[in-house]
Amino acid sequence: MNKSYRQGQILKLIRARSLRTQDELARALRTVGIRATQVTLSRDLRDLGLVKTAAGYAQPAEAAPAGRDVSTVLREFLLDVRVAQNLLVLITPPAHASSVAEALDHGLAGNHWDRRRRQHHPGDYANRQESSVVT
């Protein structure tokens, strides 16, 4: 048994059922005749790019299907909106400003007008200096 075979079996197992811990994964591998230490499993999980989710280990594409829509994120994390001259200040709980900014980026598929350059740009609120979401 080699590394690529073991990693292939890991992928097969996580696609077939929910495995929430490395111990569960090790037991599942033993049922198919593969013995692996925790260190080996950690390395394999990292090499395969697997992420741990509430439902168990998953490949990144499975882990975050489409993201939440803007209205859901705003209902969950937006505490207040304040006007400051020509800006809107979005108040969020600590550590959630980036979630709101990302939702704005993806959900609005935004359109904004750059007045200084007189150009129209697709949204990129999380990375623009002019737009800030503060906690």
Q: What pLDDT digit, counting tens, does each position of 19-65 carry?
A: 999 999 999 999 999 999 999 999 999 988 888 888 889 887 644 44
80-84 and 87-91: which strand pairing?
antiparallel
Which pLDDT value is given to residue 135?
42
Which pLDDT value is given to residue 14?
92
Taking the C-alpha atoms of residue 25 and residue 21, their distance in angstroms, rounded to an integer, is 6
Q: Which residue did the predictor score with more confidence, 134 or 102?
A: 102
Query: What six digits make up the tokens of 11?
Result: 């992928």
User: What pLDDT, in 10s, does the model give residues 75-120?
Assistant: 888 888 888 888 888 888 887 888 788 777 766 554 444 444 444 4
Cα of 110 vs its chain's centroid, Å: 20
For the chain, the domains span 3-61, 70-127
Phi, psi of 82, deg, nearest 5: -125, 145
Query: What six digits make up the tokens of 100?
Result: 């709101």
Which pLDDT value is given to residue 65?
46
Which pLDDT value is given to residue 53?
84
Whether the Cβ atoms of residue 104 and residue 128 lie closer than 8 Å to each other: no
Which pLDDT value is given to residue 10?
93
Q: Which fold has domain 3-61?
A: Arc Repressor Mutant, subunit A (1.10.10)
Whether the Cβ atoms of residue 113 and residue 94 lie closer than 8 Å to each other: no
Which pLDDT value is given to residue 66?
54
Which pLDDT value is given to residue 75?
83
pTM: 0.47
Cα of 76 vs its chain's centroid, Å: 17
Taking the C-alpha atoms of residue 112 and residue 46, their distance in angstroms, rounded to an integer, is 39
What's the Cα-to-Cα distance from 38 to each of 52, 84, 92, 93, 105, rounded to whole Å?
15, 53, 39, 36, 39
Which pLDDT value is given to residue 9?
94
